[in-house]
Amino acid sequence: QAQRERCEAHLEAATRDGRMIEIAANIGSSNEARLANDSGADGVGLMRSEFLFLGRDSAPSEDEQRREYQATVDAMQGKPVIIRTLDIGADKQLPYLTLPKAPNPALGVRGVRLWQSEPSLLDTQLRALLGVKPLRHLRIMVPMISDGSELEWVRERLEAMAAEMCLTELPLLGAMVEVPSAALCAGAMAHVADFLSIGTNDLTQYGLAMDREDPLLTGQADVLHPGVLRLIQASVLGAAGRCPVGVCGAAAGDPLVAPLLIAMGVNELSVEPSRIAAIKALVRRLDMAIIAREIDSLLTLPDAQAVRRYLVPLVESAL
């Protein structure tokens, strides 16, 4: 059966009731892109570009970055590649970046907010990304966006830079939905974004006010908390089909949570390359309507444990 799953991993996956779900990969480098492509990924749903910036004495040059992004796009052989702009904060320090000490790093200058204090770092990355060919295979995603205006600001920068470089074609531009305000304002965001991708790791952290790094809270920081699920639902309903919505947090690769995300209307799941085959097999066995009609009941449950108890037999019955 494992052998069959691996072969079928290279085919697209639709649910039993006929909805295509893109199963993409989360990667950190062009080497991992090769692994993702070999694993049957339909694309890259999240390349965490910060790995290129960590563990060194100076920032990678525009040229070095462009080569790495190009190698990633090349490795995926024409499938869409979403590269996320730098998501460094005061917690993940770069030795060549001196940010003032943040009282609460998780709530400080990180993700898109870094653009204001370090414009040349992020502009260099944008220029490197715009040097990739062909640009239609590339999608740029911005982390820690809190509303549509922030993404609009990035779009203006992107367009100005493309004009400077005499480019006629622009890559798609999307936002991560990982800050609760972004989930609640998804409607306005969808007017500015070409796509949205829900980062359930941070959305859980910020939605529940529980530090994802705190070992004392790991059991409680649960994506199945009805409050977090309501944020996910708000993102999908807010986008209202105006732009595709994916999930790139760890929940996307969880066999209990993935069916619920699909039933809520998510179009794409981005998972570790080693999970591609299993998640595609899961999608093919899923009758999502069975779960979809229970979502309103699930959301009225009091806590994550109750949702879990309700969801386990429900997902079993839908497979």
Smallest distance, ligand PEP to C-beta of residue 201, A: 3
Q: Which is nearer to ligand PEP, 249 or 265 (CB)?
A: 249
Smallest distance, ligand PEP to C-beta of residue 44, A: 13
Amino acid sitting at position 193: A
The contact mask relative to Mg ion for 193-212 (x = CB under 5 A, - = no) is ------x--x----------
Q: Determine phi and psi for 193, rounding to 5 degrees.
A: -90, 145
Q: Which is nearer to ligand PEP, 24 or 162 (CB)?
A: 24
Q: Which is nearer to Mg ion, 45 or 199 (CB)?
A: 199
Smallest distance, ligand PEP to C-beta of residue 306, A: 23
Smallest distance, ligand PEP to C-beta of residue 8, A: 26
Contacts of 241 (CB under 8 A, 6+ apart): none
If one asks whether residue 49 binds Mg ion (CB under 5 A), the answer comes out as: no
Partner from ligand PEP, Mg ion, none binding residue 200, C-beta < 5-8 Å depending on class: ligand PEP
Burial code (b: 16+ CB inside 10 Å, e: under 16) for 182-206 equals bbbbbebbbebbbbbbbbbbbbbbb
Chain positions contacting ligand PEP, by CB under 6 A: 46, 48, 87, 178, 199-202, 248-249
Q: Which is nearer to ligand PEP, 178 or 194 (CB)?
A: 178
Look at phi and psi of residue 246 and say left if phi exceeds 0, alpha if psi is from -120 to 50, else beta.
Answer: beta
Cβ 137 vs Cβ 73: under 8 Å: yes
Angle between the N-to-C axes of helices 200-208 and 226-239, in degrees from 0 to 180, rounded to the nearest 10: 120
Partner from Mg ion, ligand PEP, none binding residue 110, C-beta < 5-8 Å depending on class: none
Partner from Mg ion, ligand PEP, none binding residue 43, C-beta < 5-8 Å depending on class: none
Could you give the CA distance from residue 97 to residue 85 in angstroms, rounded to a whole number?
Answer: 16
Smallest distance, ligand PEP to C-beta of residue 1, A: 30
Structure tokens at 268: 């794409």
Of all residues in the chain, what percent are helix, strand and coil, respectively (each to 5)? 50, 15, 35
Contact footprint for Mg ion (CB under 5 A): 178, 199, 202
